[in-house]
Structure 1
Amino acid sequence: MKLLKLLFLSFTFLIFSCSKKENHSYGFYYWKTRLSLNDTEKKALNQSTLPYLYTRFFDVDKIDSKFQPVGVIIKDKNFETQKKIVPTVFITNRTFLYIKKEETAFLAKSVYLLIQKKIAEYHLSVHNEIQIDCDWTAGTRDDYFKFLRELKKISGKEITCTLRLHQVKDKDQTGIPPVEKVYLMCYSTSSPLENSDKNSILDVNILKSYLSKINEYPIKKIEVALPIYSWGIVTNHLEKHKLINALSQKDLENINFKKISGNTAEVQKDGFYFGHYLNKGFTIKIEEISDDQLKDVVQFLESKIPNFNIIYYQLDSKFVFNQDFNF
């Protein structure tokens, strides 16, 4: 009898353990040049469970062999939030091509000074972290990693960086960044400008193949960035493509569009659509992410990564309206 009770309790505990849902705190990236929140965005941000807003301050590119800040953030007077701002800077990979040693230190100092200037100018309450976003490669890894070390030395801040899928899969070639925490970008699984029937924002099977050994990645503190954005891929008669951001399936419900598949329509009449002039015969393919896809990714990562937070890309009323973030 005791043995039966013990087996019953063990079985009950096993069922409970398997069915227990892991709760992930979540926050948002803010990736617009103008820092301003409408009511929908304020509500979504206030309901988020992380105390941070990951805010893009500016991009850095190399133009005519000179480092240039691009799209430096500006702030509306009415912007306010109780969240701590995490300054985030995107740097193009080509910025680190053929960079000299003294230029690395100059770049790190320039990036830090511009961040500090914007913090002071807009009276922002910031977290003790700077996040760098760069799609570094095997050819730029050493100089990019030097930059990260230099930025940490100059700023005294916690320096973190993004981690793309190929940088996980090919870690022996792309190297391991000198940081204690990375943000795994679970999107951009392929190029939207290629002819493909796959969803370029997120193909879960591709993601799983790239992250099959993420549990072996040397940096143990990994946060997860998930996509909630959408877009339309327009293809012209010459098979050239361009993106129109924030389109959804509902946008295909137009008398001048003819549905040719579940997520693709053909323009039937020349005209302006979504702020762009499109000719008859152009096609529009919608790519968006479902809750089921996000749940699939989260469940997969729960078996690989312990105790991760989720940061959704991005905070925009077009993407956060009626969205369920409790994965």
Structure 2
Amino acid sequence: MKSILQCLICILLLTNCTKTNNNHDYGFYYWRSTFNLNKNEQQTLNKSKVGNLYTRFFDVVKQNDQFLEVGIININKEISTDKKIVPVIFITNETWFNIKPNDIQFLAVKINERINKIHSNHKLNLENEIQIDSDWTASTKNDYFKFLQALKQISKKNITCTLRLHQVKDKLQTGIPPVDKMYLMCYATSSPLENQEQNSILDVRTLKSYLRNLEDYPIKLDIALPIYSWGIVTNHLGKKKLINALTAEELMQNKNFKMINKNNFEVLKDDFYFGLYLNKGFKIKIEEIAEKDIIESLNFIDGKLDYPFHIIYYHLDERFTKNYNTLFQ
């Protein structure tokens, strides 16, 4: 009887280790170029308790000293959701290189104008927030922070921004943005274009190393966790390219790909696949995120932060959400 009780206790302990804290409401990023939710995506979104949908509106890049708005979201019809839309603007770090003070003000004005134009054209229900996504560094922090302040003054809205893992680890060098709230991106733990065994989207051991002093970060955070996947294509010369949103299931269903092992495949026939021309013999490594890794990451963060936070999953797409039923109860 004693041994049976001990076994039951061990099972309960193991089960509890795999469960995440259910006290955190979750929401989603929307990161596709055309806004269009199918029935299942609409249902998944409706089940979430976070009142916002964090929607990428456009990117900003700098070419020949000109600021360009690229990839502007295409909205074919009214967005049918009760969630408020938070515009998310991605700005390349190169945009801040050698930027002039007048250009900082100019950029803030133009971004605010573009957001307002998208808003008025489609009668969107916007939250009183603009989120900026930019991977700033120690050399660009001052101008980036000035931009955040300028955008707040011009837009009269709450300005938030994303936070990457290295900016937590190296906060003394990269600085603390002048915002009241940030969104910690718990993914992209390494470069997918390097030769490595670990998952470049999310390697839990790497994440824990970067966030070992997370409790010391002085700004309140929400937590962004990955549910996306991609394929890393390696050609005969060892050069690599990414195919976004590719899954192992798609390759297993195609006779022109041979499975080498669980996550690695070989192209069997020259042809166009997923927007790229791939030659026979090219290798594809699929990187997907196991639910247990998401839960372990969340439990680690939960032990670091002593305040309630939201989980924002990246991103809302049925190709990904269908694989994580336990997360979206």
On whether the aligned pair clears a TM of 0.5, the verdict is yes
- Bigger Cα displacement from structure 2, 159-168 vs 37-46: 37-46
TM-score between the two structures when normalised by the length of structure 1: 0.91
> 1:176 Cα deviation (Å)?
0.3
Q: How many angstroms apart in 1 are the aligned matches of 2:321 and 2:51? A: 18
Give the conservation status (yes or no) of the 8 Å contact 1:24–1:310: yes
SS of match in other structure, 1:296 = helix
For residue 49 of structure 2, what is the amino acid of its counterpart? Answer: T
Structure 2, unaligned runs of 5 or more:
1-15
**Aligned twin of 1:46:** 46
Give the conservation status (yes or no) of the 8 Å contact 2:20–2:295: no
Distance 1:199 1:85, change over 3 A: same
The superposition leaves residues 47-100 of structure 1 with CA deviations (integer Å, 9 ceiling, x where unpaired) of 111111001111111111011111111212153111000011000101111011
Aligned residues: 310
Q: How many angstroms apart in 1 are the aligned matches of 2:217 and 2:118? A: 34
**Aligned twin of 2:214:** 214
SS of match in other structure, 1:260 = strand
For residue 135 of structure 2, what is the amino acid of its counterpart? Answer: D
**Aligned twin of 2:155:** 155
Q: How many angstroms apart in 2 are the aligned matches of 1:246 and 1:269? A: 21
SS of match in other structure, 2:304 = coil
TM-score between the two structures when normalised by the length of structure 2: 0.90
Distance 1:151 1:275, change over 3 A: closer
SS of match in other structure, 2:289 = coil
Q: How many angstroms apart in 1 are the aligned matches of 2:259 and 2:309? A: 40
For residue 147 of structure 1, what is the amino acid of its counterpart? Answer: F
Query: What aligned pairs does 1:1-327 form with structure 2 within 5 A after superposition?
Result: 21-219=21-219, 221-253=220-252, 254-305=254-305, 306-324=307-325, 325-326=327-328
Give the conservation status (yes or no) of the 8 Å contact 1:23–1:326: no
SS of match in other structure, 2:72 = coil
Q: How many angstroms apart in 2 are the aligned matches of 1:270 and 1:323? A: 34
SS of match in other structure, 1:173 = helix
Q: How many angstroms apart in 2 are the aligned matches of 1:177 and 1:276? A: 39
RMSD: 1.7
- Bigger Cα displacement from structure 2, 285-294 vs 19-28: 19-28
> 1:326 Cα deviation (Å)?
4.5
Q: Give the 4+ runs in structure 1 shifted more than 4 A.
A: 17-20
